[in-house]
């Protein structure tokens, strides 16, 4: 399982940040005909992206095309269990993608509508956000 992680980062640890607003970029289909669009904000971990990707490729039997439109580039830190308060910021445990409402998460092409709908529905169950199925026409 090849998890998505950045090759290199400018800062090893970052602030958690604010997540207000709606997506002004990456909010329409650019590559495929069908897509999975976020309707709420949150963090999606690299493990969740990989689980959803595997679900889609398994359901389509590796047919069609798949584009992952989000990338986990934000490091998340955590203190080890049963450690005392203080002593600085914890170690990096993984990476997340910040997703705003309106962001396209996955795009699919070269498959029929029924297959894309079901594949993206199954993938949506692997994600911690509410999503909706979108097509190029809508």
Can you tell me the distance from the alpha carbon of 7 to that of 95, in angstroms, rounded to the nearest whole number?
Answer: 12
Can you tell me the distance from the alpha carbon of 137 to that of 105, in angstroms, rounded to the nearest whole number?
Answer: 18
Q: What is the pLDDT of residue 129?
A: 96
Nearest Cα neighbor of 40 from 136, 135, 138, 132 is: 132
Q: What is the pLDDT of residue 19?
A: 82
Tens-digit pLDDT profile for residues 19-57: 889 999 999 999 999 999 999 999 999 999 999 999 999
pTM, 2 dp: 0.92
Overall average pLDDT of the 102-126 stretch:
96
Whether the predicted pLDDT of 117 surpasses 90: yes
- Residue 57's CB: how many other CB atoms inside 10 A? 15
Q: What is the pLDDT of residue 1?
A: 61
Q: What is the pLDDT of residue 62?
A: 85
CATH code matching the domain that covers 50-77+92-138, chosen among 3.90.1170.10, 3.30.70.60, 3.90.400.10, 3.40.920.10: 3.90.1170.10
Q: Count CA atoms within 13 Å of residue 17 on its CB side.
A: 16
């Amino acid at each position: 399982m090849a998890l998505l992680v950045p090759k290199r980062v400018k800062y090893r640890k970052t602030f958690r940040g604010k997540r207000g607003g709606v997506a002004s970029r990456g909010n329409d289909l650019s590559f495929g005909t069908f897509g999975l669009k976020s309707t709420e904000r949150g963090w999606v971990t690299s493990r969740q992206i990989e689980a959803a990707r595997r679900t889609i490729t398994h359901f389509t039997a590796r047919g069609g095309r798949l584009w992952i439109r989000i990338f986990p580039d934000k490091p998340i830190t955590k203190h080890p269990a049963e450690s005392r308060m203080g002593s600085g910021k914890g170690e990096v445990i993984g990476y997340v993608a910040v997703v705003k409402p309106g962001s396209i998460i996955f795009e699919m092409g070269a498959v029929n509508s029924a297959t894309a709908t079901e594949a993206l529905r199954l993938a949506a169950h692997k994600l911690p956000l509410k999503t909706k199925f979108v097509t190029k026409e809508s």
